[in-house]
C-alpha cells in the first residue's frame, strides 16, 4: 500500500511541476507588441477637439485628449467622445458643429462608423482620423 501511495505522490509532484512549467513559459517573441490607445475629446460650446494616440493606457490617452481639447476650448466642457485600443478612431462633423465618432480596425471603418454616428444630425464630413499606433 505504501508503494502505490509513494508513486502517487511522486506522480502528483511531477504533474504539478510540469503544469507550473507550462503556465510560466514566456510568450513567443513575435507576440510582444504592447497595446496602444487613442482618444478623441470634444467641446460642445466651442467645437474644439483634442486627440491622443500611442499611449500605453486608456486613461493616459483620454487625459491627453482632454488636456489638448481644454487648451483649445478653455471652457471646461470637453469630454471624451471615443477611445480605442490597437485600432483607429474618427470624428465627423455637421456644418452646425454636431459630431459623431467611431472606431474600427482600420481608418476606413473608423470613418464609416463616425459618419453613421453623425448622420443623425444631418449631412456630415470626416474632420479627423488616426490610429492608436501612429
| pLDDT values of the chain reduced to their tens digit, one per residue, 134 residues | 445 444 444 443 433 333 333 444 444 455 578 999 999 999 999 999 999 999 999 999 999 999 999 999 999 999 999 999 999 999 999 999 999 999 999 999 999 999 999 999 999 999 999 999 97
pTM for the model stands at 0.75
Which sign, positive or negative, has the C-alpha torsion 93, 130, 67, 100? positive
C-alpha cell recorded at residue 21: 512549467
**3-state DSSP assignment of residue 61:** helix
Query: Could you tell me which residues are beta bridge partners of residue 102?
Result: 90
Strands of the 78-85 sheet, one edge to the other? 49-55, 37-43, 78-85
Cα–Cα distance for residue pair 29/111, rounded to 1 Å: 33
Q: Are 89 and 132 in contact (CB under 8 A)?
A: yes
Distance, CA of 42 to CA of 118 (rounded, Å): 14
Amino acid at each position: 500500500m505504501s508503494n502505490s501511495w509513494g508513486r502517487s505522490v511522486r506522480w502528483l509532484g511531477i504533474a504539478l511541476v510540469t503544469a507550473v512549467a507550462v503556465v510560466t513559459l514566456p510568450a513567443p517573441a513575435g507576440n510582444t507588441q504592447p497595446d496602444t490607445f487613442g482618444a478623441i475629446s470634444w467641446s460642445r460650446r466651442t467645437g474644439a477637439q483634442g486627440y491622443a494616440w500611442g499611449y500605453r493606457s486608456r486613461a493616459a490617452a483620454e487625459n491627453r485628449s482632454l488636456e489638448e481639447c481644454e487648451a483649445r476650448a478653455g471652457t471646461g466642457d470637453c469630454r471624451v467622445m471615443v477611445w480605442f485600443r490597437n485600432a483607429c478612431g474618427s470624428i465627423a462633423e455637421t456644418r452646425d458643429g454636431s459630431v459623431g465618432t467611431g472606431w474600427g480596425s482600420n481608418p476606413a471603418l473608423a470613418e464609416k462608423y463616425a459618419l453613421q454616428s453623425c448622420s443623425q444630425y444631418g449631412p456630415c464630413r470626416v474632420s479627423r482620423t488616426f490610429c492608436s499606433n501612429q
